[in-house]
């Protein structure tokens, strides 16, 4: 039996003969695997896709052990937008992934078996979810504003799924054409939880946590797990060989710690990047892929494991050009002949060999160098071509461990991104030499990737936190600036630190935790939750209403302090973070108090406390007229034997009565406290879908807006940070709760006053170039003839719009359906595409708007 993808490949080769990988690649075909219908009465598992979109990393996830979409696109279930595989940074349309998957191999009795989520060669997919609805995704969130809020969530966006490898029916799981047999299961169940945060330090990575369970009756011995990544880098406007045939892969093990003192962080990231960042001429532009994305393992079932990093170039049409670095054999480790292919592991035994073979390949850019002194084979004939960048896959694997029947083993890794890897648009062209690649390599900046990798490991296992209460909090670094302390690379445990503090009295040193206690936390310090908000539209004005009860009363997960500081209002013409502008800010009137202290042989002003409100300072110092801002280093405040100075926390823009700024919606409302059982009806409002205190209701008016275009509006919260831990103030991501709305009369008002609908621009002039004026296709992701828009305004919340030609032919029918009213319910667009998917021609058209109360007729004109 020939699989469908293989059949198409054979037909293509029969017609064209042997071709080079650069001129033919099945990625052009975007083959989506279709199985034959199962036998009658057997329910078929359905592979579903969803997407992480909470942070700066947008990633498609499937419930079959894969992420990425093999070059296709899947709609984001939260926004409806199309997410092609992996976008980083969010909204950039720069793709970093074709597909990635887990591989698991083991010895079962006398058999060597491997199960793969995908291997992008035969398009083998051997993990399957349960039948629906049991195989569907489950969503959890720590965000109180999310419909998936759950106190058991770890992150702002937990996505959970389960799948197994137990199906061996060739109608559902493709037969292995290399081993020439059906899939042979390991009999494992995988519970996968992926997590995303939007906080500024944590939004460039996702954490994946796996529980791998042996649901069979036989032990799985010498188990190895790998993360397979086919990372392709391109902007969505360059989806083709120019996008994926020039990428580089490598492994980045360590990076200088930002604290200095000679410390070095363990990074251990396998990465993919574009070879030159895709400049346009000698400049970067919005299509330039200057970053990098990769994998870091953060948890394995045992500390002492073997790790391997292997990459290979898969040539679909010419097996002799299939290549991956291979080490020569030794008597202790004989060379394995993997058949006609040098790099791509085909069949279970070859896959298992690559998983378990303790080998770290050199980076792709170093392919033309001779690595025989490290035990590798000589460079291939095409080495210089490969070193310049190619369509490459890699596998990061580890093991061995055993899984006995009924047992589960945990494994966690981070999918991390780094910005600005490429530092100059002409560096690759001018400095890359395959025989001396280090000159160019030294221009690459791994700072961002290293910082992301570090934060990912810290969120997984919080440094300095004794999670299991056994007295061990992790590992500490001491950065000494005085000879009284020992060398900078010394690592201390708690007892030694206490001894230093009690006996040595260091004169000047910084201490900080950098490794956790080895027990997973999956916790990230975050800002207070963003408020519940809604938009009230009027012509030329948007009024933002929000309730900050949860924002102002929630406690920080680590300090357990209510650390709310203020709100910020943003507006933009589209949903990209870079398009949003800060309009106005409110923050509480509070002050930082610095104490004059002796630190070794120096004295300095030290901040050790959270901010004080003005009332609390006046109470502490028993002075109702106390003004902290009159006290500065030249004129400190002396009290109870201590010296203090003060400064404002943020801007202290705390006026809530000025209606041109952020102000209270109910000026006379009093604080009813945090016990809902004590709230009276006069204390609460229901305008956000639940009973919330009026005391926390705010509003802000945005005036002088163009009624003809949508605006994206958001309200964020921010905290005052943590002076003790050195964590800066954190703010919620303005893209998480933004609402798009037109400054038009609301649908409710339209229906109440029976207002007439209208169309704009009318006439629609193609020669006016609305796109260049910013009215259409602002992110340039659509073809010009698919980005045009005619707008219908003053609509009721539910109606049908029909557009007819002068001859009475139906050109397009649009269902306008907003049963709950809300944003956009008064407005609709037509993209000038007919019901036959053709572009509408110039001319006069009639439109009919049908609703339950009335039918309206009108005319519109298209002029080319």
Q: Residue 302 — pLDDT band, cuts 50, 70, 90?
A: confident
What CA dihedral angle connects 12, 26, 162 and 168, to 10 degrees? 30
Query: 626-629 long-range contacts, Cβ below 8 Å, gap at least 24?
Result: 628/591, 628/593, 629/591
**Around Cβ 611, how many Cβ atoms within 10 Å?**
23
Mean pLDDT of 506-524: 80
Q: Which tens digits make up the pLDDT trace of 582-613?
A: 999 999 999 999 999 887 678 889 888 899 99
pLDDT class of 394 with cuts at 50, 70, 90: very high
Q: Which of 758, 750, 765 lies closest to 798 in space, CA to CA?
A: 750
pLDDT class for 340, splitting at 50, 70, 90?
confident
CA 799 to chain centre: 37
With 60 as the cut, is the pLDDT of residue 273 above it?
yes
Q: In terms of Cα–Cα distance, which of 410, 447, 459 is closest to 207?
A: 459
Share of the chain above pLDDT 90, in %: 71
Better pLDDT: 233 or 512:
233
Can you give the pTM of this predicted structure?
0.84
Q: 35 pLDDT exceeds 50?
A: no
Cα–Cα distance for residue pair 745/753, rounded to 1 Å:
11
pLDDT of residue 388: 97
Q: CA–CA distance from 463 to each of 458, 489, 520, 540, 757 (Å)?
A: 6, 17, 11, 51, 60
Closest CA to 391 of 236, 248, 237, 228: 248
State yes or no: pLDDT of 767 exceeds 90: no
- How do residues 653-697 score in pLDDT, each as one tens digit? 999 999 999 999 999 999 999 999 999 999 999 999 999 999 999
* Cα–Cα dist 535/840, whole Å: 34
Task: Give the tokens for residue 820.
Answer: 């709950």
Both tokens of 455, joined, read: 């934060």
Question: Mean pLDDT throughout 335-361?
Answer: 92
Neighbours of 816 (CB within 10 A): 21
Question: What pLDDT sits at residue 135?
Answer: 83
The pLDDT of residue 492 is above 70: no
Both tokens assigned to 573: 């013409």
pLDDT of residue 77: 65
Which tokens belong to 248?
A: 């580089």
724 φψ region: left (φ > 0), alpha (ψ -120 to 50), beta (else): alpha
- CA dihedral angle for residue 554, residue 555, residue 561, residue 562, rounded to 10 degrees: -10
Band of residue 510 on the pLDDT scale cut at 50, 70, 90: low
Residue 725: band (very low, low, confident or very high) from pLDDT cuts 50, 70, 90: low
Q: What is the mean predicted confidence (pLDDT) over 548-570?
A: 93
Evaluate whether 599 touches 675 at the Cβ level (below 8 Å).
no
- At 574 the three-state DSSP class reads coil
Mean pLDDT value of segment 171-178: 84
For residue 262 the two structure tokens come to 């000679």
Terminus-to-terminus CA distance in the chain, angstroms?
Answer: 55
Look over the chain and give the mean of its residue pLDDT values, rounded to a whole number: 88
pLDDT of residue 835: 94
Q: Which comes out higher in pLDDT, residue 726 or 283?
A: 283
């Amino acid at each position: 039996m020939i699989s469908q993808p293989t059949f198409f490949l054979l037909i293509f080769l029969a017609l064209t003969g042997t071709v080079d990988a650069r001129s033919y690649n099945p990625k052009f075909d975007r083959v989506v695997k279709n199985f034959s219908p199962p036998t009658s009465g057997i329910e078929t598992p359905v592979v579903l896709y969803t997407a992480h979109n909470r942070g700066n990393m947008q990633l498609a996830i499937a419930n079959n052990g894969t992420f990425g979409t093999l070059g296709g696109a899947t709609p984001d279930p939260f926004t409806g937008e199309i997410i092609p595989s992996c976008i980083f940074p969010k909204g950039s349309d720069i793709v970093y992934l074709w597909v990635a998957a887990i591989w698991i191999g083991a010895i079962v009795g006398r058999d060597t078996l491997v199960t793969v989520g995908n291997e992008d060669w035969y398009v083998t997919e051997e993990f399957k979810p349960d039948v629906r609805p049991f195989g569907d995704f489950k969503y959890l969130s720590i965000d109180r504003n999310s419909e998936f809020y759950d106190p058991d969530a770890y992150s702002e966006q937990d996505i959970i799924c389960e799948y197994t490898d137990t199906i061996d029916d060739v109608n559902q799981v493709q037969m292995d054409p290399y081993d020439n047999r059906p899939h042979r299961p390991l009999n494992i169940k995988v519970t996968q939880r992926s997590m995303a945060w939007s906080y500024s330090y944590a939004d460039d990575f996702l954490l994946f946590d796996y529980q791998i369970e042996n649901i069979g009756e036989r032990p799985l011995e010498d188990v190895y797990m790998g993360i397979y990544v086919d990372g392709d880098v391109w902007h969505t406007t360059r989806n083709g060989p120019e996008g994926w045939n020039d990428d580089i892969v490598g492994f980045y093990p360590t990076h200088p710690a930002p604290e200095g003192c000679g410390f070095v962080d363990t990074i251990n990231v396998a990465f993919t990047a574009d070879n030159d960042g895709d400049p346009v001429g000698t400049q970067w532009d919005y299509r330039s892929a200057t970053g990098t994305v990769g994998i870091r393992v953060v948890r394995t079932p045992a500390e002492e494991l073997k790790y391997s990093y292997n990459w290979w170039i898969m040539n679909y049409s010419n097996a002799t050009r299939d290549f991956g670095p291979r080490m020569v054999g030794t008597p202790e480790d004989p060379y394995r002949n993997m058949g006609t292919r040098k790099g791509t592991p085909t069949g279970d035994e070859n896959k298992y060999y690559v998983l378990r073979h303790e080998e770290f390949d050199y980076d792709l850019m170093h392919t033309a160098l001779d690595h025989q002194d490290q035990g590798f084979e000589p460079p291939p004939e095409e080495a210089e071509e490969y070193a310049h960048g190619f369509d490459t896959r890699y596998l990061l694997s580890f093991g061995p461990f055993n899984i006995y029947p009924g047992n589960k083993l945990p494994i966690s890794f981070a999918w991390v991104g780094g910005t600005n890897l490429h530092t100059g648009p002409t560096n690759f062209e001018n400095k890359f030499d395959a025989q001396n690649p280090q000159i160019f390599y030294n221009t690459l900046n791994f700072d961002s990737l290293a910082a992301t990798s570090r934060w990912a490991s810290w969120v997984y296992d919080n440094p300095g936190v004794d999670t299991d209460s056994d007295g061990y909090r992790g590992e500490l670094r001491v950065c000494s600036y005085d000879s009284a302390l020992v060398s900078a690379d010394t690592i201390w445990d708690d007892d030694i630190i206490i001894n230093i503090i009690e006996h040595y009295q260091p004169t000047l040193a910084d201490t900080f935790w950098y490794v956790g206690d080895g027990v997973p936390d999956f916790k990230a310090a975050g800002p207070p939750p963003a408020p519940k908000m809604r938009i009230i539209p009027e012509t030329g004005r948007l009024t933002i209403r929000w309730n900050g009860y949860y924002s102002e009363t929630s406690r920080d997960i680590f300090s357990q302090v209510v650390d709310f500081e203020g709100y910020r209002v943003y507006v933009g013409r589209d949903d990209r973070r870079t398009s949003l502008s800060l309009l106005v800010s409110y923050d509480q009137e509070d002050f930082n108090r610095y104490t004059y202290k002796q630190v070794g042989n120096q004295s300095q002003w030290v901040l050790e406390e959270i901010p004080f409100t003005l009332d609390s300072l006046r109470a502490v110092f028993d002075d109702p007229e106390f003004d902290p801002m009159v006290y500065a280093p030249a004129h400190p405040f002396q009290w109870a034997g201590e010296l203090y100075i003060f400064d404002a926390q943020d801007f202290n823009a705390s006026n809530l009565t000025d209606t041109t700024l952020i102000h209270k919606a109910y000026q006379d409302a009093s604080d009813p406290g945090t016990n809902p059982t004590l709230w009276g009806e006069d204390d609460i409002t229901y305008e956000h879908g639940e009973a919330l205190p009026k005391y926390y209701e705010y509003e802000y008016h945005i005036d002088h807006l163009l009624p003809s275009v949508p605006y994206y509006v958001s309200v964020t919260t921010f905290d005052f940070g943590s002076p003790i831990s050195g964590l800066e103030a954190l703010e919620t991501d303005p893209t998480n709760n933004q609402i798009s709305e037109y400054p038009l009369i609301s649908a409710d008002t339209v229906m109440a006053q029976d207002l007439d609908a209208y169309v704009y621009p009318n006439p629609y002039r193609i020669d006016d170039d609305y796109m260049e004026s910013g009215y259409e296709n602002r992110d340039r992701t659509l073809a010009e003839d698919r980005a045009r828009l005619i707008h219908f305004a003053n609509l009721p919340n539910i109606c049908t719009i029909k557009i007819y030609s002068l001859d009475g032919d139906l050109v397009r029918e649009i269902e306008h359906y907003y049963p709950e009213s809300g944003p956009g319910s008064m407005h609709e667009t037509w993209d000038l595409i007919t019901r036959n998917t053709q572009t509408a021609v110039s001319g006069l058209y009639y439109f009919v708007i049908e609703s339950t109360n009335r039918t309206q007729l009108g005319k519109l004109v298209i002029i080319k």
